[in-house]
A and B are shown apart, each in its own frame.
Chain A
Amino acid sequence: MEALQEIRAALEKGQSARLRELLGPAVEAGTPPDRILRTMLEVMEQVGKGFKEDRVFIPEVLMVGRAFNLSLDFLAPLLGEGEAAKSCHLAKAVLGTVKGDIHDIGKNLVKLMFTGSGVEVVDLGVDVSPEAFVEAVRVHKPDILAMSALLTTTMPQQRKTIRALEKAGLRQGVAVFVGGAPVTEAYAREIGADYYSSDAGEAMEMARVVIDRKKAGEH
């Protein structure tokens, strides 16, 4: 379908204004909103992959992410509750940068990638204490808790948060993601996190694993 191809091309280039022009007429002409959404999610997957493989960089990801979010605002009301749940709310994530750390670029990129994989995101911002993470998990009951740490000195907060989750009896139901420049796979294992990702593209892939497991009824 030509309309879908145009939408795909506009999203790939991060052209928000162009997408706004295309979406209304496309829906009016009978393109099902869920097909449009699926096309957009495919683009987001490609972008995540490109980011991971160092073919796509932060400016492009932010532009595409912004265009995606604006388009989603337009499409969401047009999707039936069931359809929305099928495509946009495959899982829920709580994310934030840990206590003592105010770096947010990486966390924001992960947020974009999560949204672009159909994950509903609750963003707690930066400098988030273990207690605040635990409270958010209690309130929002997410499938994923993702923590970013950019300093060797704030990495231990990821461990503290995991311990606090255990203490609160909330560790079982949630997949814990950790990332950030100094964090490594080995460290993630050592502190008892479930998933480590070296960048936002990889975080997106890991989110897909969680979604697949959720579909299969695993945790």
Chain B
Amino acid sequence: MTGKERVLATLNHQKTDRVPWIPFTGVHAGALKGYSATEVLTDSQKLYESLMEAYKLYQPDALPVVFDLQIEAEILGCKLVWADEAPPSVADHPLEETTDLPCECLMPTRESGRIPFVLDVMSKMKASVGDDIALYGLICGPFTLASHLRGNNLFMDMILDEDYVHKLMEFTTTVSLKMVDLYLEAGMDVIAVVDPLVSQISPEHFTELCHESFKTVYDYIRAKGAKSSFFVCGNATRQLEVMCKTGPDSISIDENVDMKSAKEITDSYNIAIGGNIPLTTLMLHGTQQENMKFVVNMLDTLSHDNLIIAPGCDMPYAVPADNSIGIAQAILETDAVREMVKNYEAPKEDIHVELPDYASLERPLVEAFTLDSATCAACTYMMGAMNVAKEHFGDRIDLVEYKFTEKENIARCVKMGVKNLPCVYVNGELKWSSIIPSREELFKTIEGLL
């Protein structure tokens, strides 16, 4: 099965060969190529390069193309504040002081705001990887969009002026439908309606004021022959049931919701569920082993039908690439990684490893530590780069690969203080971790030691 087939089968509630994996790379993709969040959210070539790097390193079954909930708000007149390592934030709300509706003339078209940029990246991705992986077009959900326009007053309106909220939601729903049209025309397979604020209102309020909007959007996507997903953030435990009733093909939740009980609810509606790898504590601040262990545990405790493994929301910019690579490996090679994690935790006293005497080596020694270069894409690329160097330098250097699948190699990693894989040490010194060096950089490093 290709990644695309796997994701679409899951969203059609059919059996798959394994659970699909969708890294919500967001602005983090830019970090892989050294681009800022602002660069990847405004420059289509830079975002395209970044997403292709994520495609290469993380072996995803699907990728969201642009993860920015402010695109519609910007078109409708909200000012944005930009950041280097996060998506922009909405800085003002055009309807804060008025209960008017925005001008219909602001409805998104192919030319509005950053839409040309988004469509350009979508078409580039479609052409490059569209047959292999599913592509997600993300739109800002109608409720969060209403709050972008009206600010915090929207919450009071929900009690004091329901009529206005209905009218505003009708407007934002029309915006959503326009966005669906644009993104489906650009070849997106799945439309994700991202509405983080849904977790902040009661299920009764959701039913009363939001149900119709979401149902309209999901029905529309279905009628157009595409698939849908409902992304929420925060503790949406209480809202899951009413979210299911709007009829999306899948729901994606974050770490604030217990995945097992959430899946019981979504399963009862035959809706696929995605999530919910913790973003900050685990992906950003955890070790690679902790990330692998978490995902193996997810796969061991959840039923695999109607399941997608994904981060809780868009990944923080500075997530170490090693952590996502570890997660990908845990999904692709679950049995091997389960063993790795077990071995890593097992006492190592019985395995004695002799480290080379780095101070008196005869020639430069390149040591590559990999999860397994046969199955982990990032490891394959890392080893590929090292093999090129070996071919070039021949007997003038030594190259050795230590696969983490062997107990002895795990003991070596511990002794060396290796934290993340894949990585490369030259003469006992850590040189590259996850990010594969360019040929030029690699050769220069080695030549400096000859």
Contacts and interface: CB of A to CB of B under 8 A. Distances in A.
B235 interface: yes
Nearest to B85: A153
Interface residues of B, number: 30
Contacts of A184: 280-281
B387 interface: no
Interface size band for A? 20 to 34
Interface in A154-211: 154, 181-184, 186-187
A102 B317 CA distance: 18
B234 A181 contact: yes
B238 A62 contact: no
Contacts of A105: 152, 200
Interface string B264-300: 0000000000000001110011000000000000000
A183 B280 CA distance: 8
A54 B258 CA distance: 14
A9 interface: no
Nearest to A103: B89
B152 to A, nearest CB: 6
A59 B152 contact: no
Contacts of B86: 151-154
B83 A57 contact: no
Nearest to B315: A152
A152 B84 CA distance: 12
B83 A62 contact: no
A59 B155 CA distance: 5
Most B C-beta atoms less than 10 A away, residue of A54, A100, A152, A187: A152
A100 B91 CA distance: 11
B336 interface: no
Nearest to B165: A59
A14 B316 contact: no
19 contacts: A54-B238, A56-B202, A57-B200, A57-B201, A58-B200, A58-B201, A59-B155, A60-B202, A63-B159, A63-B160, A101-B89, A103-B89, A151-B89, A152-B316, A152-B318, A153-B84, A153-B86, A153-B317, A181-B233
Interface of A: 14, 54, 56-60, 62-63, 66, 100-105, 108, 151-154, 181-184, 186-187
Interface of B: 81, 83-86, 89, 91, 152, 155-156, 158-160, 200-202, 205, 233-235, 237-238, 279-281, 284-285, 316-318
Given A182-B316, A184-B280, 13 more contacts: A14-B159, A54-B238, A57-B202, A59-B159, A63-B156, A101-B89, A104-B152, A105-B152, A105-B200, A108-B152, A151-B83, A151-B86, A181-B233
